[in-house]
């Protein structure tokens, strides 16, 4: 099953919207991230696996492919943790999450499922506004910063479970 959520890539003081595509399919359990990820993004699988488990969700014992597009732009930072985790849940969870394509999401995950502050919430929120996205889901400590973009609705969350509960309504 394929899920898509949006995030952002920082480029100096600006940002551009990044599509985070997550495909969960049959095969040996393994997670691959493509699309020019840096070391922090490649390490996300371990943080996400622990965060999902410790927040009461199941990490699929299947093949997971994460594509960060556009592939020609370097993706740096830990703010991709939350969108990748939500993409996995959207592709696999029962009950499933709603369509995440209109959402911009950013946040670093702690192993306990808490969402930590990240760099670049304002430029990413401005990029989400330019892209016409519905709302932006950010770590609670970044909510005031993201709201300065005067763009999409800003929802601040403290935990992965809180993010899922908000998306499920």
pLDDT-based confidence at 95, cuts 50/70/90? Answer: confident
pTM greater than 0.85 = yes
**CA 130 – CA 17 distance, rounded (Å):** 9
Domain extents in the chain: 2-168
Tens-place pLDDT, residues 114-145: 999 999 999 999 999 999 999 999 999 999 99
Say what the alpha-carbon torsion angle 86, 129, 153, 84 is, to the nearest 10 degrees.
10
Task: Report CA-CA distances (Å) from 1 to 26, 65, 88, 117, 169.
Answer: 10, 11, 9, 30, 22
CA-based nearest residue to 29, from 59, 66, 55:
59
Tens-place pLDDT, residues 36-81: 999 999 999 999 999 999 999 999 999 999 999 999 999 999 999 9
Higher pLDDT, 93 or 62: 62
Please give the CATH architecture assigned to the domain spanning 2-168: 2-Layer Sandwich (3.30)
CB contact at 8 A, 43 and 10:
no
CA-based nearest residue to 138, from 166, 114, 158, 112:
158
Say what the alpha-carbon torsion angle 85, 94, 155, 21 is, to the nearest 10 degrees.
40
pLDDT-based confidence at 96, cuts 50/70/90? Answer: confident
């Amino acid at each position: 099953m394929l899920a898509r959520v949006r995030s952002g890539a920082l480029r100096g003081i600006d940002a551009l919207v990044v599509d985070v595509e997550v495909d969960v399919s049959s095969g040996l359990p393994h997670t691959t991230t493509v699309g020019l990820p840096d070391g922090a993004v490649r390490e996300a699988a371990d943080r996400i696996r622990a965060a999902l488990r410790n927040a009461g969700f199941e990490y699929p014992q299947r093949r997971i492919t994460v594509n960060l597009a556009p592939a020609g732009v370097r993706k740096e930072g830990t703010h991709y943790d939350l969108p990748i985790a939500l993409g996995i849940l959207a592709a696999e969870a029962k009950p499933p999450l709603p369509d995440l394509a209109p959402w911009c999401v950013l946040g670093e995950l702690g192993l306990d499922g808490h969402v930590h502050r990240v760099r670049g919430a304002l430029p990413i929120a401005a990029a989400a506004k330019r892209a016409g996205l519905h709302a932006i889901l950010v770590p609670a400590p970044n909510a005031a910063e993201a709201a300065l973009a005067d763009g999409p609705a800003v929802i601040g969350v403290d935990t992965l479970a809180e993010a899922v509960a908000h998306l499920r309504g």
